[in-house]
Chain A
Amino acid sequence: MNPRALGLTLFLSSAALVPAALAQTVRDVNLDLTDVQQARVRDIGSQLRCLVCQGESVADSRSPFAFEVKRQIGDFLKQNRSDADIIGFFQTRYGDTILLEPPKKGINWILWGLPVIALFGGAALWWGTLGRKNSAQVSPEMLERVEQDMRERAREEPRRTTDSSV
């Protein structure tokens, strides 16, 4: 097998293994859960931040902390506790920082509002800059000079035509 074909085969086989590896994360932790319960562990885990990771959800992380949280979620599901109840359990103990999506309250409104303000502010700034470019290029004095020049040319034009025809 030539090196390129070998490389492609290795890449494709490793790419095929990635989803399998990801799917294993929840199954490894909660071996005795049904497929539906495992999907719920993944769903709830995707709403919780892994507090010892950099920008990773509990569902995606393989850290011991995420492992423990997933195991706890699995235990709660076996007790038929609701998703909101389970998320509330972690929020009470770890605060709002454990939620990947900050709740829309208090100072968090700044987080939600800032992108909108930035968008409209940027649009206003752009609009203002364009308007200034289109209208403020010519000063009144310059305009007056141009018009005077055109009037003089218009006066001189018939004279020039007459001269050239002679």
Chain B
Amino acid sequence: MNPSQDKIQNKPARAAWTRFIPALVMVAVLALLAVGLLTQTDDAKSVLEGRPAPALSGVTLEGKNFDAALLKGKPMVINFWASWCDPCREEAPLFKELVQKYGSQVNVVGVLHTETSYVRARAFAQEFGYTFPSIQNDDRKLSFDFGVTAPPETFFVDASGMVVKRWIGPVRPEVMRENLERLGVKL
């Protein structure tokens, strides 16, 4: 047997499955991409979830001083809103209803986020019958402390002051119900 033949015959036989490696790698990459795309949701997890809520105080739209620390002992729903924000209008009736139906079990606090006119904000509050306080947040401190990106955003805080859930976008009735139950509110 000549050397070239010897070389060929001594070469280890390549397993048949190895020809599928490129296809398998491609399928794995596509699966990863698909999982990434399909698991993108509106309610991106906040770094605050499972942690104590930041201090919440300031001057309300009515010009009164407000400090949430004085309301401890009850769960709290904090809603960041603005008068120019259409999705805020969409969810507004739900917050009015929340105060009317469950106001004895839960505190509701509004915080203005990137508000351009307090006159329009007061008109908004009046139009939707907001009886809960809304903090002006002129220095944006509360927006940054809560990691808010755009209105509306809502934080569900339990009686011990821990953030249970952050919801980005308008709150839907089922989202409100589900999170109120998590806060221990009897519906």
Contact = CB atoms under 8 A, between A and B. Distances in A.
A64 B9 contact: no
B5 A144 contact: yes
B47 A140 contact: no
Interface in B19-64: 21-22, 25, 44, 46-47
Interface residues of B, number: 23
A147 B7 CA distance: 16
Nearest to B145: A93
A143 B9 CA distance: 11
A65 B14 CA distance: 57
Interface string B66-77: 000000000000
A143 B8 contact: yes
B144 A93 contact: yes
A125 B21 CA distance: 9
A68 B8 contact: no
Contact of A68 (B21, B114, B147): B114
Contacts of B14: 132
A135 B8 CA distance: 7
B150 A64 contact: yes
Contacts of B9: 140
A92 B11 CA distance: 57
B149 interface: yes
A144 B9 CA distance: 12
B143 interface: yes
Contact of A52 (B5, B8, B47, B149): B149
Given A125-B22, A143-B8, A92 B47 contact: yes
Interface in B126-151: 140, 143-147, 149-150
Contacts of B149: 51-52, 65, 94
A64 B151 CA distance: 11
B104 interface: no
A46 interface: no
Nearest to B44: A97
Contacts of A132: 14
Contacts of B21: 125
B143 A143 contact: no
Nearest to B2: A147
Contacts of B150: 52, 64-65
A72 B144 contact: yes
B47 A95 contact: yes
24 contacts: A64-B114, A64-B150, A65-B149, A65-B150, A71-B140, A72-B144, A89-B144, A90-B144, A93-B144, A93-B147, A94-B147, A94-B149, A95-B46, A95-B47, A95-B147, A121-B25, A132-B14, A136-B8, A136-B11, A138-B8, A140-B5, A140-B8, A143-B8, A144-B5
Interface of B: 2, 4-5, 7-9, 11, 14, 21-22, 25, 44, 46-47, 114, 140, 143-147, 149-150
Given A52-B150, A94-B147, A144-B5, 6 more contacts: A51-B149, A64-B114, A89-B144, A92-B47, A95-B47, A135-B11
